[in-house]
Amino acid sequence: MKRETAWRIFAGEYNDSNFEVKGTGEKTPSYIITPLGAKVNRLFIVGVLTDVENISESGELIRAHISDPTGVYTLYSGQYQQDATDALSAIEVPAFVAVLGKARTYKPEEGVLYVSIRPEKIMEVNAEARDQWILETCESTKERIEAVLEAMKMSQSNAYDLRKLGYSRDLSDGVVAALKNYGSVDIEKYITLIQESLQYLRPSREKLAFPPDEGVKEEKKPKTKKTKEAQKKVEEPVKEDASEETENKVLEVIKDIEGENGASWDAITKKCEKSGLSRDSVEEALNSLMDKGLIYEPVLGTIKTT
């Protein structure tokens, strides 16, 4: 049996998934189909580990959250993944981590599906590795967007014609299944997701080679016949809007006053107000920065940068 590709997918796309293809046999894998057609059995993610919590009385099952620029992944690990469970429990949060894991789903009721990850391997990494993963995941997401755009132009989308354009078999099959299940895909949402993610790359960073874990296979990135319209649509630069400018100002204020023990929420708000920001915009920026893993709250009311 072939080893499944470990997809690079942002939390914003993964968490939008609500379609699962169940395997029929004991060794037949199941897949989560994302809105952009990733056919996911395994994932490779890098982000900020923000919390780890025991959720069973015996302590054998833990839940953890990892944030990237687009959202938060939920991880569940137990006694059958003891190495990963031990590693998660030993890491001091917040920390940059890389995770290789299996896609998992939970259906509390008919028509409702939640996705999570069961980690197989986890290791601490640095900010450069996180930046490299963001860049690679932007490229992978861009390719899926282009594949969806090509399929949407067809009178009837089919995997054979997508493969003729150079897309992999898994992606071609996934895109056709995604369009059938999700209907019209909000392409603009995922273009914005790429644009916003790229803004979190440090301007001075160099592109670094991030050696994959031994179980991680690179997704094939074949040369494809992309239309000029699709290329322009995906690569169009984004202009920083007011909310992003506010987040940057708030982040600078936190870095300026946090010290070793962090900065109080009130002190951050007061200093930001003196610079002309409204209290509501500051609170909105703080919440957004926490969601993106750039800051965290070690103690209620106290903020620190990661």
Q: Give residue-wise pLDDT tens across range 54-86.
A: 887 766 788 999 999 999 999 999 878 888 888
Please report the pLDDT score of residue 238 as a whole number: 41
Evaluate the CA torsion angle 186, 192, 198, 200 in order and state its sign.
Answer: negative
Distance CA 218, CA 234 (A): 22
Among all chains, which residue has been given the structure tokens 């992606």? 171
| pTM for the predicted model, two decimal places | 0.68
Section 161-183 average pLDDT: 93
Greater pLDDT, 210 or 161: 161
Check residue 302 and give its pLDDT: 82
Whether the pLDDT of residue 185 is over 80: the answer is yes
Q: How confident is the model at residue 282 (pLDDT cuts 50, 70, 90)?
A: confident
pLDDT for res 281: 86
Q: Quick one: average pLDDT of 86-105? A: 92
Per DSSP, helices labelled H in the chain are 11-14, 82-90, 127-153, 159-164, 169-182, 187-198, 228-235, 242-257, 265-274, 279-291
Q: Does residue 168 register a pLDDT over 50?
A: yes
The share of the chain scoring above pLDDT 70, in percent, equals 82
- Do 6-125 and 242-305 come out as alike in CATH topology? no
Within its chain, how far is the Cα of 58 from the centroid?
Answer: 30
Residue-level pLDDT at 3:
63
In order, the DSSP letters of 71-140 are: EEEEEEE-GGGHHHHHHHHHSPSSEEEEEEEEEEEEEEETTEEEEEEEEEEEEE--HHHHHHHHHHHHHH
**Banded model confidence at residue 203, pLDDT cuts 50, 70, 90:** low
- CA geometry: angle 36, 40, 41, nearest 5 deg: 175
Q: Does the pLDDT value for residue 158 go beyond 70?
A: yes
- pLDDT computed for residue 299 by the predictor: 64
**What is the average pLDDT across 156-174?**
92
What gap in Å lies between CA 190 and CA 16, rounded to an integer? Answer: 11
The one-letter amino acid code at 151 reads A
Q: Of 1.10.10, 1.20.1250, 1.10.287, 1.10.357, which CATH number belongs to 242-305?
A: 1.10.10
Comparing 208 with 299, the larger pLDDT belongs to 299
Tell the residue number behind the tokens 């874990």, with chain if given.
213
Domain topology for 6-125: OB fold (Dihydrolipoamide Acetyltransferase, E2P) (2.40.50)
The pLDDT score that the predictor gives to residue 26 is: 62
- Measured CA to CA in angstroms, residue 21 lies from 16, 30, 51, 174 at distances of 15, 6, 30, 10
Q: Which residue has the tokens 């870095």?
A: 255
Averaged pLDDT, 244-272: 88
- How far apart (Å, rounded) are the C-alpha atoms in residues 247 and 203? 17
Over residues 154-162, the mean pLDDT reads 91
pLDDT value, residue 218: 44
Instruction: Provide the residue type at 102 as one letter.
Output: K
Alpha carbons 71 and 143: distance in angstroms, whole number: 20
CA 144-127-268 angle, 5° bins: 105
| Domain boundary assignment for the chain | 6-125, 131-235, 242-305
- Strands 42-54 and 6-7, how do they pair? parallel
Confidence of residue 221 (pLDDT cuts 50, 70, 90): very low
